[in-house]
């Protein structure tokens, strides 16, 4: 099981040039598709063990949790990561939130209001399918707010994330990086499959003509929020199996870094065992 994939994916500080980062590569992993799928399956036990420890800690008075933020262009595979990677652990320990277009109520509050409402409970893994980053991406490209407000938001995001990390909730931020050609293939495939038509929004095609603008917005957002405490990981996403595995490995690393331990027994184990062995018959 590869142990060093994070080093390959962690975005270095400074200006970001997404066009220079390959979308079809498999950094840190030598094998092919079937090896990658096998590695993900094998990862399941390790992820489950770590998740269960974190959950146990949360149920025993601990306050730590973890937040996985998934961002990327349409069809980049945010939902696929949830279905294939996050699904490897106990659903009881997972809280998935998909952020859509803000409601009237959400718009009446600061942009982080709905995010704060969706933060994971102690011991849980929160998963954001889109997130507060939409508020400096689509909001910027479509000029829903002015430039000053976008600037303010970068800072507000960094403050929120620093606060979360300091409070025991690491923030694992993954940008799922696909090429425009791969997106086109995926949109065409959706059109081929009637059971995917409900997901199809013609705006997704319009947005392709804004690809450079969205890429610019991503580059700035990634640079401005690529902090020491909550860095970005750029996950090549053209190969779905690699994307699923890479996020799984990053999640494993983040959980392992938390190093949740089984809460100590607050009981006299021997005495409790003896009680069961000595008890009056129950029927």
Give the one residue of 148, 209, 228, 259 binding its own copies; rule: CB under 8 A: 209
Residue 178's nearest CA partner among 42, 69, 80 is 80
* Residue 267 in contact with its own copies, rule: CB under 8 A: yes
Q: Which residues pair with 70 in a beta bridge?
A: 129, 174
Structural tokens at position 250: 């990053």
Residue closer to its own copies by CB (options 4, 87) is: 87
Measured CA to CA, the distance from residue 169 to residue 60 in angstroms comes to 16
Measured CA to CA, the distance from residue 18 to residue 218 in angstroms comes to 9
Give the one residue of 3, 83, 109, 257 binding its own copies; rule: CB under 8 A: 83
Measured CA to CA, the distance from residue 167 to residue 180 in angstroms comes to 38
Residue closer to its own copies by CB (options 14, 202) is: 202
* Residue 144 in contact with its own copies, rule: CB under 8 A: no
Structural tokens at position 107: 């718009």
Element (H, E) at 173: strand 171-177
Element (H, E) at 273: helix 269-278
* Residue 275 in contact with its own copies, rule: CB under 8 A: yes
**Part in contact with its own copies (CB under 8 A); list of ranges 25-33, 79-87, 131-139, 232-240:** 79-87
**Terminus-to-terminus CA distance in the chain, angstroms?**
49
* Residue 262 in contact with its own copies, rule: CB under 8 A: yes
Give the one residue of 3, 33, 63, 197 binding its own copies; rule: CB under 8 A: 197
Interface with its own copies (CB under 8 A): 19, 52-53, 56, 59-60, 79, 82-83, 86-87, 90-92, 94, 96, 98, 127, 129, 180, 184, 187-188, 191, 194-195, 197-200, 202, 205, 208-209, 211-212, 262-267, 269, 272-273, 275-276, 279-280, 282-283
């Amino acid at each position: 099981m590869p142990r060093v994939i994070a080093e390959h994916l962690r975005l270095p500080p400074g200006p970001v040039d997404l066009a220079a980062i390959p979308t079809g590569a498999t950094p840190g992993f030598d094998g092919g598709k079937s090896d990658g799928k096998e590695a993900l399956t094998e990862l399941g036990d390790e992820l489950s063990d770590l998740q269960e420890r974190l959950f146990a800690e949360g149920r025993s008075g601990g306050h730590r949790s973890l937040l996985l933020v998934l961002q990327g262009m349409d069809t980049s595979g945010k939902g696929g990561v949830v279905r294939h990677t996050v699904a490897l652990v106990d659903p009881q320990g997972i809280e998935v939130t998909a952020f859509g277009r803000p409601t009237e109520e959400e718009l009446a509050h600061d942009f982080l209001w709905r995010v704060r409402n969706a933060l994971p409970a102690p011991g849980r893994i929160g998963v954001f399918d889109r997130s507060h980053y939409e508020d400096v991406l689509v909001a910027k490209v479509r000029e829903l707010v002015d430039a000053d407000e976008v600037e303010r938001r970068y800072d507000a995001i960094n403050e929120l994330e620093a606060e979360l990390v300091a409070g025991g909730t690491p923030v694992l931020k993954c940008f799922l990086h696909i090429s425009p050609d791969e997106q086109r293939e995926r949109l065409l495939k959706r059109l081929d499959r009637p059971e995917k038509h409900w997901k199809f929004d013609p705006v997704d095609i319009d947005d392709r003509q804004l690809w450079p603008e969205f890429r610019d917005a991503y580059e700035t957002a990634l640079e401005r929020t690529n902090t020491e405490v909550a860095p970005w990981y750029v996950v090549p996403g053209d190969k779905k199996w690699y994307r699923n595995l890479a996020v799984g490995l990053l999640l494993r690393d983040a959980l392992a870094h938390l190093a949740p331990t089984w809460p100590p027994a607050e009981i006299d184990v021997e005495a409790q065992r003896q009680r069961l062995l000595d008890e009056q018959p129950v029927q």
